C-alpha cells in the first residue's frame, strides 16, 4: 500500500478508489481501527469512519505491531492532560507529502533559516521544519520560551548573506519575537515566514490579521504564509498569503460536519481523509471548526466550544514565554 500512496503523491490518481482501497487495507491491518468501525457499510470516501483525535491518547491505531515503531509523534496538550501518540514504522511518506505540498504552495525552500518551533524529537512540526531546512538555529526552548535577542541576531545574519531565509514559528512564538525591541529587517527575495498554530486564550490573544500585518512590517519583503497541521495528520494545509483559505494537497480531502448530527455541512467540525496516513488511520475528526468551500479550500474559525486547548502554540504558551 505504501507504494500506491507514494505514486499518488508523485503524480495524482483517483482519490475515491484509492481512499476506499486504503480503508479496506487498514481495516485488515489495524485491529483497533477495525473494532472502531464495527459493522458500518462504506460506499464512498466521505462515509469512512473518522477517528476522533482524542482516541490517540488511548489506542495505538497502527497498521503494524506498535512495538515496531521507529518514529513517535506526540500531540501537544495541557500540562496535566495525557498526550496522544502517533506511531510510525518510518517517516518516509510524512516527509515526502510535507515537502511536495509545501513546494507546490510556497515554491522552492530556502537553504537557510531560523526556527521558532518546538524541536523535541516527538514534535511532528519540528520534524517537518528540520527536514525542510536542516541545521537551522533554534530560538525557542521548551524551558525558557523564545530567545528574541538570539533570534533577531540570527535573522539579521541570515539576511546579510543575500540568500532567501525560512522562518517557521508558532503564532505565539512569533508574537513574542516581534514584541521584543527590534528594527524591521529587509529579507531577500524568496524568504518565507511560516505561521502555524493559534492563540489558546490562556495568556494573550492577537487576531490573525494584526499578527500578519505586524510580521509583514517586521520582515519586509518576505512572504507571510500560514500552515495548518497536527500530529495525527501526515499532511498539511497552506494559506498563501496568510489570511487566505487553507489549501489541502490532492491526496487530502476535508469536510465539515454538524457536531450534533454528524451530517455533512458547509460549516462545522472538520474531518480529514488523508491518504498519507497509510500507517495509522486515514480518516480523522478534530474539534476544529471551519468552513469548507466549494473548491475544497478551508477557512478555520477556531475550536469547538468546550474542547480542550491543544496544538503547537500551546507548547510555547506553557513554557512561560
pLDDT at 204: 58
The arithmetic mean of pLDDT across residues 283-296, rounded, is 94
Of 54, 83, 58, the residue nearest 306 (C-alpha): 54
- Residue 32 confidence (pLDDT): 95
CATH 3.40.50 in the chain, residue ranges: 93-244+307-318
Q: SS3 sequence, 189-236?
A: CCCEEEEECCCCCCCCCCCHHHHHHHHHHHEECCEEEEEECCCCCCCC
Dihedral of CA 87/273/302/148: which sign?
positive
- State the Cα–Cα distance between residues 67 and 95, nearest whole angstrom: 22
Q: Give the span between the Cα atoms of 103 and 119, in whole angstroms.
A: 22
User: Alpha carbon of 92 to those of 6, 89, 111, 309: distances in Å?
Assistant: 9, 9, 21, 29
pTM (predicted TM-score): 0.90
Arithmetic mean of pLDDT, 69-87: 78
Point out the least confidently predicted range of 160-164, 250-254, 310-314: 310-314
Residue identified by cell 483497533 is 32
The answer to whether residue 203 scores a pLDDT higher than 60 is no
**93-244+307-318: CATH number:** 3.40.50
Distance CA 232, CA 24 (A): 20
Q: Residue 241: is the preceding peptide bond cis (ω within 30°)?
A: yes
More confident position, 317 or 41: 41
The answer to whether the beta carbons of residues 283 and 48 sit under 8 Å apart is yes
* Angle at which helices 15-29 and 2-11 cross, to 10°: 160
Amino acid at each position: 500500500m505504501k507504494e500506491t500512496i507514494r505514486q499518488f503523491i508523485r503524480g495524482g490518481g483517483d482519490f475515491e478508489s484509492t481512499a476506499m482501497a486504503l480503508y479496506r487495507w487498514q481495516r485488515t491491518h489495524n485491529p483497533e481501527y477495525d473494532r472502531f468501525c464495527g459493522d458500518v457499510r462504506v460506499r464512498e470516501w466521505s462515509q469512512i469512519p473518522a477517528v476522533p483525535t482524542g482516541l490517540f491518547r488511548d489506542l495505538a491505531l497502527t497498521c503494524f505491531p506498535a512495538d515496531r515503531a521507529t518514529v513517535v509523534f506526540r500531540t501537544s496538550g495541557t500540562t496535566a492532560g495525557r498526550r496522544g501518540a502517533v506511531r510510525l514504522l518510518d517517516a518516509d511518506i510524512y516527509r515526502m507529502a510535507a515537502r511536495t505540498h509545501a513546494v507546490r504552495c510556497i515554491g522552492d525552500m530556502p537553504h537557510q533559516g531560523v526556527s521558532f518551533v518546538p524541536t523535541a524529537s516527538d514534535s511532528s512540526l519540528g520534524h517537518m521544519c528540520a527536514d525542510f531546512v536542516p541545521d537551522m538555529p533554534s530560538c525557542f526552548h521548551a524551558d525558557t520560551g523564545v530567545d528574541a535577542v538570539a533570534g533577531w541576531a540570527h535573522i539579521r545574519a541570515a539576511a546579510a548573506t543575500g540568500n532567501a531565509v525560512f522562518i517557521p514559528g508558532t503564532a505565539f512564538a512569533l508574537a513574542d519575537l516581534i514584541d521584543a525591541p527590534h528594527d524591521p529587517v529587509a529579507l531577500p527575495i524568496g524568504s518565507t515566514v511560516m505561521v502555524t498554530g493559534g492563540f489558546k486564550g490562556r495568556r494573550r490573544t492577537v487576531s490573525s490579521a494584526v499578527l500578519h500585518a505586524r510580521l509583514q512590517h517586521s520582515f519586509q519583503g518576505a512572504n507571510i504564509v500560514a500552515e495548518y497541521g497536527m500530529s495525527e495528520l501526515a499532511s498539511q494545509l497552506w494559506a498563501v498569503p496568510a489570511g487566505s483559505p487553507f489549501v489541502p494537497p490532492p491526496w487530502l480531502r476535508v469536510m465539515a460536519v454538524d457536531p450534533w448530527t454528524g451530517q455533512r455541512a458547509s460549516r462545522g467540525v472538520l474531518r480529514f481523509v488523508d491518504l498519507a496516513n497509510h500507517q495509522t488511520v486515514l480518516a480523522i475528526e478534530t474539534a476544529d471548526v471551519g468552513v469548507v468551500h466549494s473548491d475544497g479550500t478551508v477557512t478555520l474559525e477556531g475550536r469547538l466550544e468546550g474542547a480542550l486547548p491543544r496544538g503547537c502554540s500551546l507548547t510555547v504558551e506553557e513554557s512561560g514565554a
